[in-house]
Amino acid sequence: MAVPEFMEYVEKHQNDFVERLRKAVAIPSVSGDPNHRPDVFRMSEFLVNELKALGASVETRDLGKQDFHGTPLDLPPVVLATVGNDPAKKTILVYGHYDVQPALKEDGWATDPFVLVEDDKQRLIGRGSSDDKGPVLGWINVVEAHKNLGLELPVNIKFCLEGMEESGSEGLDDLIYQEAGEYFKDVDAVTISDNYWLGTTKPCLTYGLRGVSYFHLTVKGPAADLHSGVFGGTIHEPMTDLFAVMSKLVQPDGKILVPGVYDQVRAVTDEEEATYATLDFKLDDLHGAVGNKTNIHPDVKSVLQHRWRYPSLSLHGVEGAFYNPGDKTVIPAKVTGKFSIRSVPDMEPKKLTELVKKYVNDEFNKLGSKNTMVIECSHDGNHWLASPNHPNYVAAAKATETVYKVKPDLTREGGSIPVTLSFQDALQKNVLLLPMGRGDDGAHSINEKLDRSNYIQGTKLLGVYLHEVSKVEF
């Protein structure tokens, strides 16, 4: 009886929940802009007050200072809140963030980005509506509904809400590892609502992310930049060598040329194959996002497999060369090409770096250049893959069917959400990505929105999920 009662409450009180979102959006908690840093702190206080009012036990963790281009800036705190501590119940860790991307009316917003507006399509428009204030408040709405209905929450909830997600999550990883055996010690599973449906009509559960390994390939020639009139044709030019090597990394059709990379890629199982059939995604969605039809693959399954479960290699740029408009007849003395590889199961970052280094060195040596070359991995983040058969996912799927009357799509993403991996590595628990918003919410763009139905149905989903997950065996 608890679930229908809860769902009815959410339906009835939806305007109150929209008001809560309106208050949150009105606080311009832009973590990337030092002028808005006090607003980020204000936003943390808003959440602390909301949670305390609902009976949560709340503490804030000071993360120290950030070095903002030489100026020390106070980092916004992590809000840690506990609702319930019954040892007989499961404990679900809920992660979210209360900072937002920058937004200015002048960027092209139709309305003031920090005033929540509902349009005639019942879209709640405002910065942070979908990323990630809506989902964070969704969890709070769930707690409120249970409190006001006098219903016991079926699980203990531990909140971990950060204010620097849009600016590199500075300090968060340290806290996660420090608290793994302390604040987070009783956590049974982690649920994050900070991504999106694949399309616009069908909910999904997300169980995989690609990793990323970033490389710097530096070729050094003359001691200083030279004039191409005086020296062109007489010395080995670093740019020539750089282009020769970087052109050997990937084909125009996306095929990575570093030997051994594909050997590490896990084969597609029949089970995985089956998940693509039902996905809410069309080629038009890709064409719309790209702005034209420059896709490599002709069908949805191929596109999504190459986004989610095959590696890709992108050339990002060159440091040290001429980059302005106009003409400059320089021979750059030292150039650094930047590229990255999106990695997938079962690629290992260390092994990948070895393969890349060996290949790049071999290709450079073939050139017969007198310049010197160094290839370095500047950063690697592993891929992440959870089993969609884990009881945590099964519970979320059941909740989705209850609320949306449809089986959720099982999706992965091409990018990385580093906190996912941090929680999994530090806590060794299942992590579930349970999105609230749609694929067209425009999280980092102008006119960011969260459909009212996604907010309200999403609040129901989060609550019902807690009930379902309380019943499964981990």
Q: Which residues, 413 to 432, sit near a second copy by CB under 8 A?
A: 413-416
- Is the CB of 350 or the CB of 444 nearer to a second copy? 444
**Cβ 434 vs Cβ 136: under 8 Å:** no
Considering only residues 123 through 182, tell me which ones interact with a second copy, judged by CB under 8 A: none
Residues that contact a second copy, how many (by CB under 8 A): 79
Question: 404, 457 in Cβ contact below 8 A?
Answer: yes
Measured CA to CA in angstroms, residue 157 lies from 184, 185, 189, 344, 429 at distances of: 11, 13, 10, 31, 15
The residues that are catalytic are 99, 165
On the question of a cis peptide bond just before residue 131, with omega within 30 degrees of 0, the verdict is no
Does 227 show up as a binding residue in the annotation?
yes
Residues 6+ apart with CB under 8 A from 319: 335, 336, 338
| Residue 313 lies near a second copy (rule: CB under 8 A) | yes
Q: Which stretch binds a second copy (CB under 8 A): 17-25, 74-82, 96-104, 304-312?
A: 304-312
Q: Which stretch binds a second copy (CB under 8 A): 2-10, 331-339, 430-438, 457-465?
A: 331-339
Alpha-carbon distance values, 451 to 12, 124, 247 (Å): 17, 6, 44
Does 289 bind a second copy (CB under 8 A)? Our answer is yes
Residue 67 is a binding residue for a second copy (CB under 8 A): no
According to the annotation, is 166 in a ligand binding site? yes
User: Is 411 an interacting residue with respect to a second copy (CB under 8 A)?
Assistant: no
Tokens representing residue 54 in the block: 């609902």
Residue 370 binds a second copy, judged by CB under 8 A? yes
Site for a second copy in 195-234 (CB under 8 A): 210, 212, 214, 221-224, 226-234
Q: Give the nearest distance from C-beta 245 to a second copy in angstroms.
A: 9
Q: Are 312 and 256 within 8 A, CB to CB?
A: yes
Contact stretch for a second copy (CB under 8 A) within 150-158, 330-338, 384-392, 465-473: 330-338
Which region among 25-33, 200-208, 409-417, 452-460 touches a second copy (by CB under 8 A)?
Answer: 409-417
Rule CB under 8 A: say whether 325 interacts with a second copy.
Answer: yes
Which of 175, 160, 174, 164 has the alpha carbon at shortest distance from 68?
Answer: 164
Q: Is 444 annotated as a binding residue?
A: yes
Give the helix/strand (H/E) hosting 68. strand 65-68
Give the other-Cβ count within 10 Å of 334's Cβ. Answer: 18
What is d(CA 133, CA 406) in angstroms, rounded to the nearest whole number?
25
List, in order, residues 6 or more apart from 368 with CB less than 8 Å away. none
- Which residue do the tokens 């009509």 mark? 201
**Is residue 329 part of the contact set for a second copy (CB under 8 A)?**
yes
- State yes or no: residue 69 binds a second copy (CB under 8 A): no
Which residues participate in the annotated binding site? 97, 131, 166, 194, 227, 329, 342, 416, 444
Which residues participate in the annotated binding site for substrate? 194, 227, 329, 342, 416, 444
